[in-house]
């Protein structure tokens, strides 16, 4: 069985290697085996390969990957809720491999008729956006949420979820040429980042309420978002694309009661009962099925070309995710 792994931290396309690993064998009682179809390369994967992800360094060698989609190969004794051929999320972390054997308990069948490329990106970005929008200070109908790195997978999901709620989005990007595409996708306001961001946001939203900011960047970008918030607002940080610590001026913390929180999807997995996790994924998969939710894909590489895929994923200026497929493996 083919797997992608790395044995030292470094440039992702340099340190990744394809290896043959023993097939996991037939499923035991209560287990299923799953054949992988597709996985995406996420920013967190790149950080992981570079040794910059998580509070502690992981042990090496390591198979990376937080998500992907596949089909049930075989179900062991006592497994009644899954049948061979049904599409399921790959159990993670460690999804960059061809075959899995796992307890069937946390595995659930995805709805049919949904593009598997979209399902391959279901596990991380959609619940990240969903939970950040709803679990801190959910903007009410007519209220606003501001996010940076708005052209990301999470950014796209957040735009769509906010629209469903009747809330509006201010989307901060680095490249002005993204604005038309994002507006066509559903963004209400698109602005480039800059020191006068708060003044331009206030011009754009008038007297609208802005209680929530979603920060993927860190550094001074955190402060620029915080400055846009209403008094008492919350910044939820889930990334550090700047490579810098979040900055928050006391003008915001002390005098305007702005809070900074962090979101990590893996913590939600650890703290949430499996049936509640499955229910959210079924809701989100249904949205992928009917088009309420969609994430752009820029390219699909076969697993044999994983190094090219990683180099592509590490480049700026993309318009969508890079996926890797086992079909041609």
The catalytic residue positions are 53
267 binds its own copies, rule: CB under 8 A: yes
**How many Å apart are CA 172 and CA 193, to the nearest integer?**
6
Q: Which of these, 317, 319, 299, lies nearest to 309 by C-alpha position?
A: 299
Burial degree of 47 (CB within 10 A; 0-12, 13-18, 19+)? middle
Token duo for residue 173: 């990007």
Query: Of 76-84, 171-179, 246-254, 286-294, which segment contacts its own copies by CB under 8 A?
Result: 246-254
Query: Of 61-69, 108-116, 202-210, 247-255, which segment contacts its own copies by CB under 8 A?
Result: 247-255
Residue indicated by tokens 């497929």: 325
252 binds its own copies, rule: CB under 8 A: yes
251 binds its own copies, rule: CB under 8 A: yes
Residue 263 or 301 having the CB closest to its own copies: 263
223 binds its own copies, rule: CB under 8 A: yes
**How many Å apart are CA 161 and CA 212, to the nearest integer?**
14
Residue 264 or 269 having the CB closest to its own copies: 264
Q: Which of these, 301, 276, 286, lies nearest to 122 by C-alpha position?
A: 286
**Smallest separation (angstroms) from its own copies to the CB of 239:** 7
250 binds its own copies, rule: CB under 8 A: yes
Among 253, 274, 276, 319, binds its own copies (CB under 8 A): 253
**How many Å apart are CA 35 and CA 32, to the nearest integer?**
10
Residue 34 or 265 having the CB closest to its own copies: 265
Subset of 38-57 contacting its own copies (CB under 8 A): 54-55
**Smallest separation (angstroms) from its own copies to the CB of 217:** 10
**How many Å apart are CA 326 and CA 303, to the nearest integer?**
6
Residue 20 or 56 having the CB closest to its own copies: 56
Token duo for residue 275: 């049936």
Residue count, binding to its own copies (CB under 8 A): 29
Query: Of 29-37, 251-259, 276-284, 299-307, which segment contacts its own copies by CB under 8 A?
Result: 251-259
Asked if 258 contacts 232 with a C-beta cutoff of 8 angstroms, the reply is yes
Asked if 201 contacts 178 with a C-beta cutoff of 8 angstroms, the reply is no
281 binds its own copies, rule: CB under 8 A: no
**Smallest separation (angstroms) from its own copies to the CB of 244:** 8
Strands 69-75 and 259-262: unpaired
Asked if 33 contacts 72 with a C-beta cutoff of 8 angstroms, the reply is yes
**Smallest separation (angstroms) from its own copies to the CB of 260:** 4
Residue 238 or 326 having the CB closest to its own copies: 238
Subset of 58-97 contacting its own copies (CB under 8 A): none
Query: Of 106-114, 206-214, 260-268, 281-289, which segment contacts its own copies by CB under 8 A?
Result: 260-268
Among 178, 260, 295, 297, binds its own copies (CB under 8 A): 260
Query: Of 6-14, 67-75, 193-201, 242-250, which segment contacts its own copies by CB under 8 A?
Result: 242-250
**How many Å apart are CA 27 and CA 268, to the nearest integer?**
28
135 binds its own copies, rule: CB under 8 A: no
- How far is C-alpha 54 from the geometric centre of its chain's CA atoms? 15
Asked if 99 contacts 72 with a C-beta cutoff of 8 angstroms, the reply is no
Residue 80 or 271 having the CB closest to its own copies: 271
Asked if 89 contacts 119 with a C-beta cutoff of 8 angstroms, the reply is yes
Strand partners, 83: none
Binding residues (CB under 8 A) for its own copies: these are 54-55, 218, 223, 237-240, 245-264, 267
């Amino acid at each position: 069985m083919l797997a992608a792994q790395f044995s030292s931290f470094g440039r992702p396309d340099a340190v990744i290697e394809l290896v043959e690993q023993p097939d996991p064998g037939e499923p035991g009682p209560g287990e299923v085996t799953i054949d992988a179809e597709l996985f995406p390369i996420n920013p967190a994967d790149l950080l992981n390969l570079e040794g910059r992800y998580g509070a502690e360094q992981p042990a090496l060698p390591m198979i990376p990957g937080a998500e992907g989609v596949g089909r049930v190969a075989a179900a062991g004794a006592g497994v009644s809720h899954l049948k061979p051929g049904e599409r399921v999320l790959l159990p993670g972390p460690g999804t960059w491999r061809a075959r899995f054997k796992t307890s069937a308990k946390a595995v659930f069948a995805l709805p049919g008729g949904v593009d598997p490329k979209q399902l391959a990106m279901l596990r991380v970005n959609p619940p990240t956006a969903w939970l950040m929008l709803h679990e801190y200070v959910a903007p009410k109908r007519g209220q606003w949420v501001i996010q940076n790195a708005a052209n990301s997978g999470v950014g796209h999901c957040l735009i769509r979820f906010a629209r469903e709620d009747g809330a509006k989005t201010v989307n901060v990007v680095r490249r002005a040429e993204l604005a038309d595409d994002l507006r066509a996708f559903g963004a209400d306001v698109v602005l480039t980042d800059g020191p006068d961001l708060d003044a331009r946001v206030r011009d754009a939203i008038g007297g609208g309420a802005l209680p929530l900011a979603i920060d993927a960047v860190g550094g001074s970008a955190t402060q620029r978002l915080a400055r846009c918030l209403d008094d008492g607002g919350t910044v939820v940080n889930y990334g550090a694309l700047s490579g810098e610590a979040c900055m928050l001026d006391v003008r915001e913390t002390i005098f305007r009661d702005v809070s900074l929180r962090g979101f990590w999807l893996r913590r939600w997995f650890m703290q949430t009962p499996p049936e509640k996790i499955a229910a959210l994924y079924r809701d989100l998969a249904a949205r992928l099925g009917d088009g309420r939710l969609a994430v752009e894909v820029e390219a699909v590489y076969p697993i044999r070309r994983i190094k090219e895929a990683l180099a592509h994923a590490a480049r700026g200026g993309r318009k969508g995710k890079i996926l890797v497929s086992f079909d041609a493996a």
